[in-house]
Amino acid sequence: MKKVAIVQSNYIPWKGYFDMIAAVDEFILYDDMQYTRRDWRNRNQIKTPQGVQWLTVPVRVKGKYHQKIRETEIEGTDWAIAHWKSLVQNYRRTPHFQEIAVWLEPLYLNEPPSHLSQLNRRFIEAICGYLSIQTIISNSWDYTLVEGKTERLADLCAQAGGAEYVSGPAAKDYVDEEVFKERGIALTWFDYTGYREYPQLWGDFAHGVTILDLLFNCGKNIHSYVKHVK
């Protein structure tokens, strides 16, 4: 049974995002959705001595509506150097900093892509590569998109050959389970609970920060702290 997940791309996502990627056979980046401000699409959090801090990629927003994530352009390149300097400043003392920096630093210091979707995918694929996650990553625009919120998800899953659709629990508020039943596709809800704390710098433990925090502190030895990464 092929498992498929369909999720919007995020910038350097948290560990749960990659746990879901590892749990499925194909992970479709759903960047045909509308770009939303002050969301995870273009920002994420790191730990610092002053508490949790946001790293935000500046983007061009043409209006409140009708701008897809994949249409969203990045504003300038200075942010990339600033983000890397923040990571160096706050994580250079972690056990696996040098190991991660070898492949992460070029992603920041080489010229970044022009669009947010491309940038997010670049980081997601690099992190999956480091963790040996073999899941196929595709884009929603690789497929035909039909009308209807749940109908589109079910149809994308079917086009990808999926027999099971794995969804984040927040989607329970709007997903119509009957649509999946009619298509003969099993619908399961991903469980983000029960993650163990890992050795982490700077004060009280924070689960919701970027996975880079976990990688800097634990390297590839993260199997005790996520559920599906082997």
Taking the model in full, what pTM does it have? 0.97
Q: Provide the residue-wise pLDDT of the chain in tens; the chain has 230 residues.
A: 999 999 999 999 999 999 999 999 999 999 999 999 999 999 999 999 999 999 999 999 987 668 999 999 999 999 999 999 999 999 999 999 999 999 999 999 998 899 999 999 999 999 999 999 999 999 999 999 999 999 999 999 999 999 999 999 999 999 999 999 999 999 999 999 999 999 999 999 999 999 999 999 999 999 999 999 98
24/46 Cα distance (integer angstroms): 27
Does 223 map to a domain?
Answer: no
119/30 Cα distance (integer angstroms): 14
Strand order in the sheet with 136-139: 136-139, 26-29, 3-7, 164-167, 186-189
Residue with token string 């073999």:
134
Q: How many domains is the chain built from? A: 1
Question: Count of CB atoms within 10 A of residue 181's CB?
Answer: 12
122-143 CB burial, b ≥16 within 10 A, e <16: ebbeebbebbebebeebebeeb
Residue with token string 């939303």:
36
- Strand locations in the chain (E): 3-7, 26-29, 43-48, 51-56, 59-60, 73-74, 136-139, 164-167, 186-189
Does 226 map to a domain?
Answer: no
11/114 Cα distance (integer angstroms): 14
Does 228 map to a domain?
Answer: no
Does 227 map to a domain?
Answer: no
Instruction: Using DSSP, state whether 166 is helix, strand or coil.
Output: strand
195/200 Cα distance (integer angstroms): 14
Does 168 map to a domain?
Answer: yes
- Per the structure, the complete domain to which residue 167 belongs is given by 3-218
Closest CA to 55 of 76, 35, 82: 82
Mark out the alpha helices in 39-77 (DSSP H runs). none
